[in-house]
Chain A
Amino acid sequence: MSIESTKSKGTLFTKHVSVLFLVLLWTLPTLGLLVSSVRDKDQLSLSGWWSSLTASEQQNVQRLPKADTQAADGAGFIIETNLFGEGTKNQIRSWGFRATEIEQYKPGETAEVDNGETITVYENGRVEWRSDSEFTHSRSPRVFFNANIPPRFTFDNYREVLTSEGVGRAFINTLTVTLPATFIPILIAAFAAYALAWMEFKGRMFFLAMIIGLIVVPLQMSLIPVLQIFSQIGQIVGIPSKSYLTVWLAHTGFGLPLAIYLLRNYMASLPKDIIESAYMDGATHFQIFVKMILPLSLPALASFAIFQFLWVWNDLLVAAVFLGQGEGKTVMTQQLIELLGSRGDNWEILTSGAFISIAVPIIVFLSMQRYFVRGLLAGSVKGG
């Protein structure tokens, strides 16, 4: 490109650096969440996620076991334990018997204690406490130690959040809300869009104008009146006023204006000849719609499907008002709000829970970005 070559190297460099800086600014928050969600929960609460790859240093104290754990060892007796528990890669840096003397012994050194007993602490945390006579103590000494804790990554947070924190259940609930609430409005909107684009009837332009106007109506206007309708119908028919059915209907109603608008614009841009000639040949509008228009409109249908899917999956307000909470009902966004309230400091729960809820839309988004962008362009450049 001619412009590129005339530009000075310095400008180009600045450009790359500033884009890199902006990209980092935009991705670091999410990266922090992702990294934190797989960190060991003790490390997560002690150090920042950016230091997760370096070993952390930790001071700790542990009381040695009681006399009843002793075993005979040749002529003498021995009590064995591990300061870290079994199977860790932690390393002892130094140890001692008082908090102020934590640097007194190196790993592998042996300390002489009263009446010929010796205590040795090895680098891997193993403790050998030997005595010539049988142990009789009821209160054992405490060992203070400095340890190197290597970074530990684990899926335990995910296991916990999926099972005991109700996120697994909420995931399924969200799916139950999202799939019908995505499909039904597309179907209804596709028929309506076809009618507005290609059929002759009274009030066509009026309805189109009304639908464009309704796109921007704040959801808040609808909450109370629709809730009243649902509870009145619920009382008459004897069904609960907050259920999956009501939340599907609500999402359908709120999603329709944009859906009809996007699909109508797309369908109206299809070539007039093929539709008219099919009509002349005796095909009904229903046949034309199903056999010709629907297949041709797939890109537009896909665009809106992604919109609606993301919107419903990520929605909090509509689910909170029209589905409510409870066993087998609470959706993921609401579960996360609850966790924010009850487990606000347990970042291992919050980060892994949040990541589970954002993983699905991110996958959908990345795999269908092309359609999403097309929908955005059609929806907003034209003034929606």
Chain B
Amino acid sequence: MFEQISGALLAITLAIGGSVLFYVGLNVLIDKAFASDGLPAIKQMKRDKQREALRPWIFIGPALLFLFVFLVYPVLKSIQLSFFGREGDEFVGFANYIWAIHSDGFQSSIINNLLWLLIVPTLATAFGLIIAYLTDRIWWGQIARTLIFLPMAISFVGASIIWKFVYDFRAAGTEQIGILNAIVVAFGGEPQSWISLPFWNNIFLMIILIWIQTGFAMVILGAAIRGVPEDTIEASTMDGANEFQIFFKIVMPQIWPTIVVVWTTITILVLKVFDIVYAMTNGQWNTQVLANLMYNEMFRNANSGTASTVAVILMIAVLPVMIYNIKSAKDSAQ
């Protein structure tokens, strides 16, 4: 135990110390190498210029190296691998994509992913919006928001255990220890094994992600609601608008751009959902999704071709958002 802790601490110190040394060292080095003290004025200027032309690359170089190795190169390589066979050495053309279209696992993954995409962002955004609006003007709103926000800090695996306990199933007639079945039984229903219940089990997995993401939507939309000018609301109250009319006709249109951003952010997260499915069912009972299918193709089937194909399809799905983000960042920079 002690050895493990001291080993961990040593590793942490080395990693942190090493990266600090790198930057400080290189910056000192170019200060020394391009030292201009005591040189004629023209040479001095030239050296200064050289030094300052080099320095940005020390600042941004390591980041670019990391981005290239861990993201840019892998994207290109994955696209390449998707046209190659199991070991990545034999060109197979579109065979992996044709496999995908005909594979049952892939088809049900796509259908399930579409369901996730349809339901989770929409419900998380809707709940977030409702809660943000309801808690905006009550005195204990901050406490309520913190409690609803809290699941954001919980890991997908932790959340899966929390909800697996909620969905726990005991045979009919015995005492239920999962709260959902206890409620069902209390109202005279039959206890169900929720996570193997055809079709609906997908919904029960989605509830976990909605539970986590609503807090995110609530915080962002709450800030947007607070930004709605007070006088627009007051004016409509004077004109006799009721709570619902104010919400739908005054508040909603003004925060619409933020709603879109929240919805998009959650959509991207949903595309990559892996941990929840992996922990709850590992794709059994028709709950497979693309990210988990990719993991299975990679490690169970050891097929880098099909696994890369699934990854590329995920990538294609996020492409529109990527282009939109770059475009809007460029627009705001000008």
Other A-B pairs, 15, CB within 8 Å; known A28-B179, A213-B323, A254-B71: A172-B1, A187-B20, A210-B72, A212-B326, A218-B311, A222-B75, A223-B298, A226-B69, A229-B69, A244-B11, A256-B63, A256-B67, A314-B155, A354-B162, A361-B154
20 A-B residue pairs with CB within 8 Å: A6-B237, A19-B131, A26-B151, A29-B179, A183-B19, A192-B64, A195-B56, A213-B325, A213-B326, A216-B318, A221-B314, A226-B74, A253-B70, A260-B63, A313-B155, A314-B154, A315-B155, A358-B158, A361-B154, A376-B219
Asked if B70 and A222 sit within 8 Å, CB to CB, the answer is yes
Stretch of A10-18, A83-91, A97-105, A109-117 contacting B (4+ beta carbons < 8 Å) = A10-18
- B137: A residues at CB distance < 8 A: 1, 3-4
B contact residues vs A (CB 8 Å cutoff): 1, 4-5, 7-8, 11-12, 15-16, 19-20, 23, 27, 31, 52-53, 55-60, 62-64, 66-67, 69-75, 77-78, 81, 127, 130-131, 134-135, 137-138, 141, 144, 146-158, 160-166, 168, 175-179, 182, 211, 214, 216, 219-220, 223-224, 233-234, 237, 243, 258, 261-262, 265, 268, 271-272, 274-275, 278-279, 291, 294-295, 298, 304, 307-308, 310-312, 314-315, 318, 321-326, 328-330, 332-333
B35 to chain A, nearest CB (A): 12
The distance in angstroms between the C-alpha atoms of A171 and B34, with both chains bound, is 48
Does A239 make an interface contact (CB < 8 A)? Answer: no
Does A371 make an interface contact (CB < 8 A)? Answer: no
- B155: A residues at CB distance < 8 A: 313-316, 333, 357-358, 361
Of B4, B153, B175, chain A has the most CB atoms within 10 Å of the CB of B153
Asked if A214 and B329 sit within 8 Å, CB to CB, the answer is no
- B64: A residues at CB distance < 8 A: 192, 207
A contact residues vs B (CB 8 Å cutoff): 1-4, 6-7, 11, 15-16, 18-19, 22-23, 26-30, 32-33, 36, 44-50, 168-169, 172-173, 175-176, 179-180, 183-184, 187-189, 191-192, 194-196, 199-201, 205, 207-226, 228-229, 244, 248-250, 252-254, 256-257, 260, 284-286, 289, 310, 313-317, 328, 333, 336-337, 340, 347, 350-351, 353-354, 357-358, 361-362, 364-366, 369, 373, 376-377, 380-384
A5 to chain B, nearest CB (A): 11
- B78: A residues at CB distance < 8 A: 221-222, 224-225
A375 to chain B, nearest CB (A): 11
Of A15, A354, A366, chain B has the most CB atoms within 10 Å of the CB of A354
A168 to chain B, nearest CB (A): 8
The distance in angstroms between the C-alpha atoms of A152 and B318, with both chains bound, is 51
- A313: B residues at CB distance < 8 A: 155
Q: Give which listed residue, B154, B162, B175, B275, contacts A47 with CB less than 8 A.
A: B175
- A351: B residues at CB distance < 8 A: 161, 165
A266 to chain B, nearest CB (A): 15
The distance in angstroms between the C-alpha atoms of A225 and B68, with both chains bound, is 12
Asked if A48 and B152 sit within 8 Å, CB to CB, the answer is no
Q: Give which listed residue, B63, B157, B224, B268, contacts A192 with CB less than 8 A.
A: B63
- B138: A residues at CB distance < 8 A: 15-16, 19
Asked if B162 and A30 sit within 8 Å, CB to CB, the answer is yes
B330 to chain A, nearest CB (A): 7
The distance in angstroms between the C-alpha atoms of A209 and B315, with both chains bound, is 17
A196 to chain B, nearest CB (A): 7
- A257: B residues at CB distance < 8 A: 67, 71
- B53: A residues at CB distance < 8 A: 201
With contacts A207-B64, A256-B66 known, is A22 near B55, CB below 8 A? Answer: no
With contacts A176-B8, A225-B74 known, is A30 near B220, CB below 8 A? Answer: no
Asked if B154 and A201 sit within 8 Å, CB to CB, the answer is no
- A289: B residues at CB distance < 8 A: 59
Q: Give which listed residue, B70, B148, B308, contacts A22 with CB less than 8 A.
A: B148
Asked if A337 and B298 sit within 8 Å, CB to CB, the answer is no
The distance in angstroms between the C-alpha atoms of A361 and B5, with both chains bound, is 20
A176 to chain B, nearest CB (A): 4
Asked if A215 and B325 sit within 8 Å, CB to CB, the answer is yes
Asked if B262 and A365 sit within 8 Å, CB to CB, the answer is no
Q: Give which listed residue, A205, A226, A250, A381, contacts B220 with CB less than 8 A.
A: A381
- B149: A residues at CB distance < 8 A: 369
Asked if B158 and A216 sit within 8 Å, CB to CB, the answer is no
Q: Give which listed residue, A179, A189, A362, A364, contacts B63 with CB less than 8 A.
A: A189
The distance in angstroms between the C-alpha atoms of A354 and B159, with both chains bound, is 8
Asked if B154 and A199 sit within 8 Å, CB to CB, the answer is no
Asked if A214 and B71 sit within 8 Å, CB to CB, the answer is yes
Asked if A384 and B237 sit within 8 Å, CB to CB, the answer is no
Asked if B161 and A340 sit within 8 Å, CB to CB, the answer is yes
Residue in chain A with minimal CB distance to B3: A328
- B182: A residues at CB distance < 8 A: 48, 50
Asked if A2 and B234 sit within 8 Å, CB to CB, the answer is yes
- B278: A residues at CB distance < 8 A: 316, 337
- A384: B residues at CB distance < 8 A: 265, 325
Q: Give which listed residue, B16, B52, B177, B329, contacts A184 with CB less than 8 A.
A: B16
Asked if B175 and A194 sit within 8 Å, CB to CB, the answer is no
- B23: A residues at CB distance < 8 A: 187, 191
Asked if A336 and B158 sit within 8 Å, CB to CB, the answer is yes
Asked if B220 and A26 sit within 8 Å, CB to CB, the answer is no
Asked if A285 and B55 sit within 8 Å, CB to CB, the answer is yes
Residue in chain A with minimal CB distance to B227: A381
Asked if A188 and B66 sit within 8 Å, CB to CB, the answer is yes
- B71: A residues at CB distance < 8 A: 214, 217, 221-222, 253-254, 257
Considering the complex of A and B, which 10 residue pairs feature the smallest CB-CB distances, nearest first?
A: A253-B70, A314-B155, A192-B63, A365-B153, A176-B8, A195-B59, A180-B15, A225-B77, A225-B74, A201-B56
Asked if A33 and B161 sit within 8 Å, CB to CB, the answer is yes
Residue in chain B with minimal CB distance to A44: B177
Asked if A33 and B314 sit within 8 Å, CB to CB, the answer is no
- B314: A residues at CB distance < 8 A: 218, 220-221
The distance in angstroms between the C-alpha atoms of A184 and B15, with both chains bound, is 8
The distance in angstroms between the C-alpha atoms of A195 and B328, with both chains bound, is 21
B95 to chain A, nearest CB (A): 17
Q: Give which listed residue, A1, A199, A249, contacts B56 with CB less than 8 A.
A: A199
